[in-house]
Amino acid sequence: MSRPKTSSTRAARPSPTGLPSREVLLRDLGRAPDERPVFSLPSPLLPWLALLLGVAVALLAPGLTREGPWGVTLWAALVLAILVIVLFPRKLIVGEDGLLLVWVGARFIPYRDIAYVETSDGFYFRNPGINIALRSGHAVDFATSVFKDRWAERDALLSLIRVTIEAASARRPARAPEALGRGGRPYDAWARALRAIGSGAHEGMRTSPIPADELLRIAESPSAPTVDRAAAFVALASSQDDENLRRLRIAVDLTAAPDTKATLQAALEAKGDEASSAEVLAFAEARTTRP
């Protein structure tokens, strides 16, 4: 993670707890508000580096060196492999829908599952870190840096997570217009109707047109069901409006949940194609649980 930048800009809309706005915090962390908020973290195995190397040397070196030059080469390759794995950084994505931690695998944490967020000393000595306490009683702890002078950077990232959680908690669930729903139709007919809505046509004589702003409200809402967001994406992607497409791309970048992000990306890339859109809608509906 880069060192926070000094910013003289004051938050236009601070959070209820007095924290700066998400936009100000992102700028202080060197990120643009419409940029995918990805941060590099130390590897979770980094504290074990010395131990792992010591075990590797103790167990492998005697046997491998007896094999001559090839044994030494293999031993060196194994040590290098351990170094690569241990030093491989972890990534944190602070999306509008939750946190995504990526290392060898990925773990998505919806904001609704988080009880509170606090500071952590990290590792065996004082290093800046963050602890995510979950409502399940478990916790996820990670260091933000191996350097002890990066406390301000950790605090800015902590504030960003807290502000984003606040915004998610205060966000009202977005309800999609009935015309966006499948309504028992085949998926290709559903995709065709959404394309018509996106182009400004009525779905039927008794159906009112859906303004682009209403479609964008659903498409950009992290609280809306994935299938509703996908339907709005299909409709808006069909319009081929440059501003709408720009906002859809930003909505994809600010989505952390892997399945949701992949669905919205596919809906955007379908560009109104009926067959591709129908496939995306079927995928989204199968993975959406209605309350």
SS percent in the chain: helix, strand, coil, step 5: 50, 15, 40
Q: What is the pLDDT of residue 160?
A: 96
pLDDT of residue 47: 62
Domain with CATH 2.30.29.30 in the chain: 22-42+89-170
What pLDDT, on the 0 to 100 scale, is given for residue 237?
Answer: 92
| More confident site: 112 or 87 | 112
Taking only the tens place, the pLDDT of each residue in 4-48 is 433 333 344 555 567 788 889 999 899 988 888 999 998 877 666
Poorest-pLDDT segment among 11-15, 154-158, 212-216, 244-248: 11-15
Q: Would the pLDDT of 179 be above 50?
A: yes
pLDDT score, position 81: 65
Place 209 in a pLDDT band, splitting at 50, 70 and 90.
Answer: confident
Of 107-111, 149-153, 177-181, minimum mean pLDDT range: 149-153
Half-sphere exposure of 241 (CA within 13 A, CB side): 17
**Percent over 90 (pLDDT), the chain:** 50
Take residue 61 and report the two structure tokens written for it: 């070196």
Candidate CATH numbers 2.30.30.110, 2.30.29.30, 3.40.50.1370, 2.40.420.20; the one for domain 22-42+89-170 = 2.30.29.30
The pLDDT of residue 285 is: 94
d(CA 114, CA 139): 9
Looking at residue 2, its pLDDT comes to 45
What pLDDT sits at residue 155? 93
Measured CA to CA, the distance from residue 156 to residue 142 in angstroms comes to 15
Give the separation between CA 149 and CA 26, rounded to whole angstroms: 20
Residue with tokens 């202080």, as numbered in its chain: 28
Task: Give the number of other Cβ atoms within 10 Å of residue 156's Cβ.
Answer: 22
pLDDT tops 60 at residue 203 = no
What residues contact residue 258 under an 8 Å CB cut-off, 6+ apart?
100, 106, 108
The residue that leads in pLDDT, 163 or 35, is 163
In b/e form, how buried is each residue of 32-64, taking b as 16+ CB within 10 angstroms? Answer: eeeebbbbebbbbbbbeeeeeeeebeeeeeeeb
